Amino acid sequence: MSGEQELGITESKNHNTGEWYAEVVQKAKLADYAPMGGFIVTRPRGYELWERLQNHLDGWFKETGARNAYFPVLIPESFLEREADIVEGFDPEVAWVTHGGYEELEERLAVRPTSESIITPFMSEWTRSHRDLPMRLNQWCSVIRWEATETKPFFRTKEFLWQEGHTAHATEDGALDEVMMRLGQYERLYEDVLAIPVLRGKKPEHDKFPGADMTTTVEALMPDGKSVQGGTSHALGQSFAEAYDVTYTDEDEEERTAWTTSWGLSWRALGALIMTHSDDQGLVLPPAVAPEQVVIVPIWQEDTKDDVLQYATEVAAELEEAGDVRVHLDDRDQRNPGFKFNEWELKGVPLRIEIGPNEVEDEVVTAVRRSDNQNTKRELDRTELVDEVDDQLDTVFDELYAKAAENLAENVRTATEPEEIMGTIGQHGGFVKTPWCGDEACEEVIKEKVAAEIAMLPLEDGEAPEAAVEGGEEVAVEGDECTMCGEDATEVAYFAKTY
Amino acid sequence: MSGEQELGITESKNHNTGEWYAEVVQKAKLADYAPMGGFIVTRPRGYELWERLQNHLDGWFKETGARNAYFPVLIPESFLEREADIVEGFDPEVAWVTHGGYEELEERLAVRPTSESIITPFMSEWTRSHRDLPMRLNQWCSVIRWEATETKPFFRTKEFLWQEGHTAHATEDGALDEVMMRLGQYERLYEDVLAIPVLRGKKPEHDKFPGADMTTTVEALMPDGKSVQGGTSHALGQSFAEAYDVTYTDEDEEERTAWTTSWGLSWRALGALIMTHSDDQGLVLPPAVAPEQVVIVPIWQEDTKDDVLQYATEVAAELEEAGDVRVHLDDRDQRNPGFKFNEWELKGVPLRIEIGPNEVEDEVVTAVRRSDNQNTKRELDRTELVDEVDDQLDTVFDELYAKAAENLAENVRTATEPEEIMGTIGQHGGFVKTPWCGDEACEEVIKEKVAAEIAMLPLEDGEAPEAAVEGGEEVAVEGDECTMCGEDATEVAYFAKTY
Ligand SMILES: [Zn+2]
Ligand SMILES: [Zn+2]
């Protein structure tokens, strides 16, 4: 059993995306499969990605009035049943606790599939006056949805980590603003932190969150042509507030019913991150989430070892202290530089710095960006090291984003015949936009043939997603006919295969 | 329904500790009772305490080699059964998932009561060589233990939040060092952050973690004379490594079995925090965990309002920016200063600053420490405000710590007759130390009579807890007889009523 052979990725991203993805996840030590189908173990390198993502999002949530809380992991069946859509939507996938110790419980308890049905009743208790609104709660937790599908780490698991935000507002406008603000924060996470451009849209009526007025989504297009629902933000209207009795006394002393929202982003974002940027050498990470942003690999002979290591140590210290960069100096004796290069490439470190006797003499370092397909070696001047490294890290982000944006821009196409939708998706994947009447049956036609569905609809009132203009031809709805049935079109639908 | 009356604490800490505690928790908006007995909802002000506690502990864990991970919330029954002591110890209190959706599961899944039985098998997979050791994992999560007791927020709940650390080591010494290092970090959390002095000890044989060689504990004495087990760190010997096959190839190419540890601290620390410092006016918090460290209450008349508010705003900004202090300026129009004083006292803000026209004119502020029973008003000079406020916050910590330390020092007593143990605990509570033969039956004698048990035994080899010398008379074990049965004593036992 050779450690070196084991280390490398053997599958091809282009030809065998699924197997390649699974291999990257395991060999970069992000996650392992648990013994129970549908469950995974998130290893420290994977969990650290989640922590960095959390730190960004949690900071934005707190700046915009959301406060973290923690509600029970178990929810009585009768609570789920109080909102008819929730029970209908989630009942088939609930894991049920029926026994505590040796006793059978009087009432079954659901392992939370989502927490509207336990959080909204408390919002009811805590809301008396209009002054208590808006009320904005968030929790970071795990949820379980018992779906019997193949396990795909971070994309398809029965248990997953997420955050779920829940808010109550005095007015519908307040609730809608909240929905769009949170969607904007998800977009910011993908675009500014994970280097993944996304499209903002809403889900068709039949694909909304159970009980919601509107479900909005950010969709990310993966390199294999499938769309990932990257995060969703729901306008829940008054159905939950009515079911769980969230009312408040308004300024005019009238009792009114609140408007609620919920919004969630799961570790599926890590799946999108891994899938989007990584390559046949392994993981590729944007600097903001990378556990190590820079790895220094010293290259020495017996007689140059001391000088090289001393110089490398100084460089590491300078970057850490003056540059506030996360640096790892790989000074292992028992591994050669080539082995180290491969290992850190596999682990996705954004910038590799090589230091040998020449670098010491010339007072420079040699840098290679993980995002640079040419592996170009660049000399960085020691005297401007902190700035140079900052620039290189920025360039890593820019290169990753540009490549993903190019993939998106090239893969939004237009179709006006059913065969064209199916042909285009079959051949290229990506998004195909087309006029649609709003009838689920017309989506089914496409779904049955090429397993593609409506990933999203552009948002109304000026909230149109960028790609509606950027990619493909413009699609006019007004006066147009549904591509599938010929009835009047009411929407532009973005069809895609989805994760 | 008067808001003002509702706000205040009506129970007395001295006379009705249990009811008083429950009232403080609810009125300071830390937690509420969930509809299912044994479960609570942690509200934002309570969760923020947990987050600050987490930040401290998590930072220390990471500095000392532990890395966060996430393992499934559900554990197959067969995994629990692989370690005999674990299944015996936890089986009576496991919540079982038996159904996924509409299907009955082939094997029952435990909602994690603790994670040795799912983490250790993965340590086995990840450990090949001595170079993989020590392996140090930690996870922040919730666990469920189905005990049928009265709910007491943070102290007694079926579900609780905690961290559980799990490590594997090549040698027994390595494992024991780890156990003591983590216990030291728990001690540091209590003493340096929460302002609660603790005693370090170990649990008697019959009260160890199931399967452990040794369970160490930090014990905190509450004002009502009961001891709280504040955090435990377990030397698991090789029993878990053997059961789950954690072996490694040593430098000499021999296959050896690892030594493992686990260590956990739960939100019970919040219970101890609330119980220790708070008073009949409500919550009292040490500055390190307080959501607001300083509250500014402006006091104005119509004609002074602008000046007072402007000055107060400047003071708030200066403290926030130059002092890095968490400040809240309570400029609500509809509440008078007295109401605000009461509300922020109830919420435990460490320092209140009052600003009226006189303060503006004299370029001072008036400060009142929450920890000062006399409510002394102090003038702080505006020109040295940041330093002065820092000093006052330090003094809050010192006052809280001193009071708790005094309670502990006064309540460690010695007894050499069974009636003396029972009499002392009945009259004063606190710890009573006495020679003990090591036999559980001798503990039972005391337990049956006054519901006190052995909270801890001083640690051997110089790791003696401070109070063994600080409080009460010294107890010699050598040559002494067990107070209960007269056989040779082998330990000094600290009896106490416990939470
Ligand atoms: Zn149609
Ligand atoms: Zn005895």
Question: Do residue B98 and residue A98 have CB atoms under 8 angstroms apart?
Answer: yes
Residues 328-357 of chain B whose Cβ lies under 8 A from any Cβ of chain A: none
Pick the closest to residue B167 from B133, B205, B201, B209 (CA basis): B133
Domains of chain A: 17-277 (3.30.930.10), 287-408 (3.40.50.800), 412-496 (3.30.110.30)
Q: How far is CA A415 from the centre of its chain?
A: 28
Residues B101-154: tens digit of each pLDDT: 999 999 999 999 999 999 999 999 999 999 999 999 999 999 999 987 889 999
Pairing of strands A491-498, A226-235: parallel
- What's the confidence (pLDDT) of residue B189? 98
Determine contact: A88 vs chain B, CB below 8 A: no
Residue B273's nearest CA partner among B223, B202, B225, B233 is B223
Beta-bridge partner residues of A192:
none
Cα–Cα dist A404/A427, whole Å: 19
Whether A82 has its CB under 8 Å from any CB of chain B: the answer is: no
- Picking from B30, B42, B49, B70 by the largest number of A CB atoms within 10 A of its own CB, the best residue to mutate is B70
Choose from B32, B41, B147 for mutation: most chain A CBs within 10 A.
B41
User: Which chain residues have CB less than 5 Å from ligand 1, an ion?
Assistant: A 437, 439, 442, 482, 484-485
| Rounded-to-integer distance, Cα A184 and Cα B169, Å | 46
Chain A contact for B102 (CB, 8 A cutoff):
yes
Q: Among B67, B74, B99, whose Cβ lies nearest the Cβ of A44?
A: B67
Burial class (CB in 10 A: 0-12, 13-18, 19+), A95: buried
B93 touching A (Cβ < 8 Å): yes
Q: What's chain B's length in residues?
A: 499
Closest residue of chain A to B332, computed from CA coordinates: A131
Nearest to B318 by CA among B306, B308, B327, B305: B327
pLDDT at A460: 60
SS3 call for A222? coil
The dihedrals phi and psi of A96, each to the nearest 5 degrees, come to -110, 130
- Tokens at residue A292, please? 């190590």
A36 in reach of chain B (CB within 8 A): yes
What is the C-alpha separation between A279 and A369, in angstroms, rounded?
A: 14
Q: Checking DSSP bridges between strand A491-498 and strand A453-458, what pairing results, if any?
A: antiparallel
Decide if A181 touches B, using CB distance below 8 A: no
A405: exposed, middle or buried (Cβ count in 10 Å: 0-12, 13-18, 19+): middle
pLDDT digits (tens, 9 = 90+) for B216-239: 999 999 999 999 999 999 999 999
Cβ-count burial A244-282 (b if 16+ within 10 Å, e if not):
bbbebeeeeeeebebbbbbbbbbbbbbbbbbbbbbbebb
Ion ligand 2 — residues with CB < 5 Å: B 437, 439, 442, 482, 484-485
Taking the centre of ligand 1 as the mean of its atom positions, its distance from the CA of residue A441, in whole angstroms, is: 7
Where on the phi/psi map is residue B101: left (φ > 0), alpha (ψ -120 to 50), or beta? left
**What is the rounded CA–CA span in Å between residue B54 and residue A425?**
48
- For ligand 1, the distance from its centroid to the CA atom of residue A485, given in whole angstroms, is 4
* Beta-carbon separation of A71 and B100 below 8 A: no
d(CA A357, CA A341) in angstroms, rounded, equals: 18
* Residue A209 contacts B, CB cutoff 8 Å: no
Query: Which residue of chain A has the CA closest to B140?
Result: A141
Say whether residue B109 is in contact with chain A using an 8 A CB cutoff. Answer: yes
Residue type, B57: L
A105 membership: H or E segment, kind and range: strand A103-111
State how far the Cα of A368 lies from the Cα of A376, in Å rounded to an integer.
6
Which two tokens mark A275?
Answer: 């899938």
On the question of pLDDT at B458 being above 50, the answer is: yes
Chain A, residues 127-146, CB within 8 A of chain B, namely 137, 141-142, 144, 146
Strands A95-100 and B199-202, how do they pair?
A: unpaired
Are B79 and A142 within 8 A, CB to CB? no
Give first-to-last CA distance, chain B, whole Å: 35
ipTM: 0.95
Q: What is the pLDDT of residues A328-344, one digit of tens each?
A: 999 999 899 999 999 99
Which pLDDT does position A464 carry in this prediction?
Answer: 40
- Ligand closest to A438 (CA) is 1
Q: How far apart are CA A49 and CA A194, in angstroms?
A: 10
Amino acid A86: pLDDT = 81
Q: Residue B70: is it exposed, middle or buried by C-beta count within 10 angstroms (0-12/13-18/19+)?
A: buried
> What is the residue-level pLDDT of chain A in tens, covering all 499 positions?
334 446 799 999 999 999 999 999 999 999 999 999 999 999 999 999 999 999 999 999 999 999 999 999 999 999 999 988 888 888 899 999 999 999 999 999 999 999 999 999 999 999 999 999 999 999 999 999 998 788 999 999 999 999 999 999 999 999 999 999 999 999 999 999 999 999 999 999 999 999 999 999 999 999 999 999 999 999 999 999 999 999 999 999 999 999 999 999 999 999 999 999 999 999 999 999 999 999 999 999 999 999 999 999 999 999 999 888 999 999 999 899 999 999 999 999 999 999 999 999 999 999 999 999 899 999 999 999 999 999 999 999 999 999 999 999 999 999 999 999 999 999 999 999 999 999 999 999 999 999 999 999 987 644 443 433 344 455 556 668 999 999 999 999 999 999 9
CA of A113 to the centre of ligand 2 (A): 52
**Nearest alpha carbon to residue B338 among B301, B280, B293, B299:** B299
Q: So what's the pLDDT on residue A473? A: 52
d(CA B491, CA B268): 28
**Chain-chain contact of B102 with A92 (C-beta, under 8 angstroms):** yes
Given a cut of 50, is residue B442 above it in pLDDT?
yes
Look-up of token digits 């040794």: B214
Q: In this complex, is the C-beta atom of A106 within 8 Å of any C-beta atom belonging to chain B?
A: no
Q: Given CB atoms, is A270 within the 8 Å cutoff of chain B? A: no
A76 within 8 A of A109, measured Cβ to Cβ: yes
What is the C-alpha separation between A260 and A240, in angstroms, rounded? 7
Contact status, residue B226 vs residue B450, Cβ threshold 8 Å: no
Judged by DSSP in three states, A360 sits in helix
Q: Which residues of A touch B102 (CB under 8 A)?
A: 92
The whole-angstrom separation of Cα A13 and Cα A284 is 13
Ordered DSSP codes for A446-483: HHHHHS-EEEEEE-STT---THHHHSS-----TT-B-T
Q: Tell me how far apart the alpha carbons of residues A467 and A10 are, in angstroms, rounded to a whole number.
A: 35
Q: Which of A46, A101, A118 sits opposite B94 (nearest CB)?
A: A101
The answer to whether B137 contacts A44, with C-beta atoms less than 8 Å apart, is yes
- Return the C-alpha torsion angle B278, B281, B282, B283, nearest 10: -50
Q: Which residues contact B262 (CB under 8 A, 6 or more apart)?
A: B114, B116, B164, B165, B166, B167, B209, B233, B234, B236
Reading the block at residue A474, the tokens are 């413009």
As a whole number, mean pLDDT of residues B375-399 equals: 97
Q: Is B97 on the interface with A (CB under 8 A)?
A: yes
